[in-house]
């Protein structure tokens, strides 16, 4: 199933109703699975899941080490100019940011 199909599946989903129905047993079941499904993600995002933050952090650490080992990856973008057309809201290189840009002589 593609990502957009999954998004469309949840377009009219009652998230508030689902989050109110999540139990601690649902959260424990989701934490004990090897492969998470979309409803497991919703379980782990629910309010009762706050009691399981340490367990979630430990599982995330194990999964990260399983896939990436004990490495650190760094990303350092190299820009030739002081603007970018991607429009990321957090980035100062965004062309929609309103500030005086430097130009070449």
The pLDDT of residue 102 is: 65
Q: For tokens 């629910």, what's the residue?
A: 46
Note if the pTM is more than 0.85: no
The pLDDT of residue 23 is: 97
The pLDDT of residue 82 is: 63
The pLDDT of residue 45 is: 96
| H-assigned helices in the chain | 3-9, 15-21, 24-31, 38-45, 53-68
Q: Residues 64-100: pLDDT tens digits?
A: 999 889 888 887 777 677 667 777 777 777 777 776 6
DSSP 8-state symbol, 96: T
How many residues can be counted in the chain? 105
Q: Residues 31-49: pLDDT tens digits?
A: 999 988 999 999 999 999 9
DSSP 8-state symbol, 46: S
Regarding predicted confidence, which is higher, 72 or 13? Answer: 13
DSSP 8-state symbol, 47: G
């Amino acid at each position: 199933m593609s990502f957009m199909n999954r998004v469309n599946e949840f377009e009219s989903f009652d998230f508030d109703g689902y989050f109110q129905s999540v139990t601690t047993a649902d959260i424990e079941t989701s934490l004990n699975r090897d492969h998470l499904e979309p409803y497991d993600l919703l379980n782990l995002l629910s309010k009762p899941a706050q009691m399981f933050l340490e367990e979630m952090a430990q599982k995330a650490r194990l999964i990260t080490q399983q896939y990436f080992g004990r490495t650190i990856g760094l990303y350092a973008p190299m820009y030739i100019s002081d603007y970018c057309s991607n429009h990321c809201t957090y980035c100062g290189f965004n062309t929609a940011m309103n500030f005086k840009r430097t130009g070449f002589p």
